[in-house]
Structure 1
Amino acid sequence: MKKERIIKELSELKKDENYRSLKLTDKKYINFSSNDYLGLNEDKELRGEFFQKFKDEDLLFSSSSSRLLSGSYPIIMKLEKKLEKIYNKKTLLFNSGYDANTCLIETLFSKTSLIISDRYNHSSIYSGIKASEAKLLRYRHLDYNHLEEILKKYSSEYDDILVVSETVYSMDGDRANIKKLVQLKSKYGFKLLIDEAHSFGVLGYGECYEADVLDLIDYVVIPLGKAGSSIGAYVLMDELSKEYIINKGRKFIYTTALPPINVAWNLFILEKMEKFNFRRKRLIELSIYMRNLLNEYKIETISSTNIISIVIGENQRVNKISENLREKGYLIYPIKEPTVPKGTARLRVSLTALHTKEMIQKFVKELNYEIDNVF
């Protein structure tokens, strides 16, 4: 790409109020943009317990190798075995949810496949579909009648069909109907991939596990950078798919494995997951409390989870509201295109178990003021 073209594109982003830059995150702010939904990352006692448990182990800060060389060290194998015991599916650990989604799709599907994706699925899913060269069709967000219309039309034309959905959608804070997707799978015989990025931890071991439909779902991707309070992603699948990805998945084969210290933390959190019920209950209570407050102030949201999306509209307006709230001590970043459709720029509130009702009450009051006064 020529320098002149780069400069021009960056100038256009600035003109459209869509330019991105890195900002220092200061702890003096009340953070409503964190994905640490259960508050595990801020828990010093939990961290201390972790270091005490593994004090006699030599937890290195790098694996220094890919999994197929010396990167399949004991604790990473122990983690995958623990996952397979919990989920009763074969498991591979990836370095990120993005890598997991792209590698899974691009490795197991090809030009002869049809992939039907919820329109609002994550960018990583579309990157994998593009790399696979499969035929792509999108169904309207959470519209299962539309999905079935597509299935009726194309099921006879393709032997290899994949339907992809997330459980909780981070831009709108709404939830997929997993049981409906499983019913359609039973009827039409397609393969089903579910991304649990925003439901793992918040819903225990994930919505597919808690709804007892894991054995009916072909692939489950569980990224760990949200309520998992870590890095990496678990991919649950059948034995043949695991074997094939180990042999053919480029993002798996040619990537240095996660460091032992991160993997030990992942194992530690996984083993304690059932002990975080009080955090989950608190998060549900706070989410209901905030949605009720927004309703009192007549601030609209379609969210039904702890991710509460408030559509503002234009980039300039959402930027200004975000800046004003920051000056008042609240960290909440605007979400703009291409992450969301043009004209639907929004504030996305990420509630965590560390927030209090008092924090939320004061924040909603200030938010309401800004919405009423910024034009």
Structure 2
Amino acid sequence: MRRSVDKYAFIERALAERKGSDQFRSLQTLVPDPSDPVIVYRNGRRMLSFCSNDYLGLSRHPKLRERAAAYTRSHGAGATGSRLVCGTFDIHARVEEKLARLYGREAAVLFNSGFQANSTLLAALAGRGALLLADKLSHNSLLQGALLSRATFRRYRHRDLTDLERRLRATVGCYERILIVTESIFSMDGDRSDMDRLVELAGEYNAFLIIDDAHAVGVWGEQGLGLTARQEGIDLVIGTFGKAYGSFGAFVLCAEPIKDYLINFCPGFIYTTALPPPVIGSIEAALELVPGLEQERAYLHRLSERVRSRLGGMGFDTQSSTTQIIPILLGDEGLTLSLSRWLEQHGILAAAIRPPTVEPGRSRIRITLSSGHTPDYIDYFLRILQGWNGAKG
């Protein structure tokens, strides 16, 4: 007689471990305010959000809503198939052409999400016989893609391009190809890569350079086109529409032969239904708006500098942040949850980021700022934060 085994035991053990280490997570249901991009409601209570990646407040912009509705009326609610079968509508092709033209690249390819793009691109471009070198703090989606690629995978010290060069020098002639992968702005720390030096190293060692520019597009660079905009020597740029562009989906900028390669060899592109027409409509509207939002970007940059300065004056550690992403590093999971709850009690949502999202001992409150955060909102946030800082002594 076969012995009975509790097939769910591993799930219970894993969840108990997370709860015991203050790392357990659960979903929270929010209702967005239709008129204010930084206000949400939870259980009927009005909350000021510092969690959103909607850096320019476009997710609730009337032009995005109107174009989404118009494309639903003209093309339907769904794309009905994958891009290679019947899912490439005229609107998909038009948006890709606009992207390439706007960013000054030969070609652009739409993907359904940033995670999907990152986790599947590297598997298509690397493979056995390749070496993949990634910044140690690259987004999990890039790390998952590196693991799926079956390439030799090494991580260099965060933003340490001397370490990267040492690894490149040691591997000359040992691999069929070398790929360097990093973010332009790091999603958990808000610091930046040295684009010029990365381009130099990639050129010197004939490496394929891939930059995830997700948190820069819309916010940084000329016309908000990101930190990679119009920079020669970057082979592939990944951007997203789910952050400053206020919509959903992702895109890749590259040369025409690379686009052809991805269409033929990238599983995440080949085997998924295309982005639906209403999403394409909102993307197109955002592409028209973003280059002209210079005042919003300038305000956001001033706001970021002010918040970092005030946090530093309170004694908080914001690491090397120079952007709209500002970590408040606390280290201990329990202390991080304590601050998150304190803010929540006062009507502020701020994400408590804990392992495994960050390394043990690196828990933090991650603040993301938006052009929708008014001076009054910021003053209130800083006042409440100061109260907790004094309380903890």
TM-score normalised by length of structure 2: 0.90
Q: Counterpart in 2 of 1:162?
A: 179
Structure 2 counterpart of 1:41, which letter?
S
Q: 1:335 aligns with which of 346, 350, 353?
A: 353
Structure 1 residue 223 displacement after superposition: 1.5
Q: Counterpart in 1 of 2:271?
A: 254
**Shift in CA distance, 92/6, structure 1 to aligned 2, threshold 3 Å:** same
The residue correspondences of 1:1-375 to structure 2 (distance < 5 A) are 2-25=7-30, 26-27=40-41, 28-43=46-61, 45-47=62-64, 50=67, 54=70, 58-86=74-102, 87-203=104-220, 204-209=224-229, 212-213=230-231, 215-302=232-319, 303-374=321-392
Structure 1 counterpart of 2:236, which letter?
Y
Structure 2 counterpart of 1:66, which letter?
S
Q: Distance in 1 between matches of 2:137 and 2:11?
A: 28
Q: Counterpart in 1 of 2:3?
A: none
Cα displacement string for residues 308-356 of structure 1 (whole angstroms, at most 9, x for unaligned residues): 1011111111112111110101011200111111011100110000102
Contact 1:33–1:331 under 8 Å retained in 2: yes
* 2:228 counterpart SS class: helix
Q: Counterpart in 1 of 2:33?
A: none
**Matched residues, percent identical?**
35
Q: Distance in 2 between matches of 1:114 and 1:104?
A: 15
Cα displacement string for residues 207-240 of structure 1 (whole angstroms, at most 9, x for unaligned residues): 111xx31x31111111211111111111112222
Contact 2:79–2:273 under 8 Å retained in 1: yes
Contact 1:108–1:241 under 8 Å retained in 2: no
Structure 1 residue 62 displacement after superposition: 0.9
Q: Distance in 2 between matches of 1:167 and 1:357?
A: 28
Cα displacement string for residues 102-161 of structure 1 (whole angstroms, at most 9, x for unaligned residues): 221101111100000000001111111111100011111001111111111112312300
Count of aligned pairs between the two proteins: 370
Q: List gaps (5 residues or longer) in structure 2.
A: 1-5, 31-39
Structure 2 counterpart of 1:64, which letter?
T
Q: Distance in 1 between matches of 2:309 and 2:66?
A: 37
Q: Distance in 2 between matches of 1:371 and 1:42?
A: 34
Q: Distance in 2 between matches of 1:189 and 1:39?
A: 40
TM-score normalised by length of structure 1: 0.94
Q: Distance in 2 between matches of 1:2 and 1:130?
A: 28
Structure 1 residue 89 displacement after superposition: 2.2
Contact 1:317–1:374 under 8 Å retained in 2: no
Cα displacement string for residues 45-87 of structure 1 (whole angstroms, at most 9, x for unaligned residues): 43465469x4895142211111111100110011111122223
Q: Distance in 1 between matches of 2:313 and 2:154?
A: 40
Cα displacement string for residues 30-54 of structure 1 (whole angstroms, at most 9, x for unaligned residues): 10011100111133x43465469x4
**Shift in CA distance, 315/48, structure 1 to aligned 2, threshold 3 Å:** closer
* 2:309 counterpart SS class: helix
Q: Distance in 2 between matches of 1:267 and 1:21?
A: 34
Q: List gaps (5 residues or longer) in structure 1.
A: none
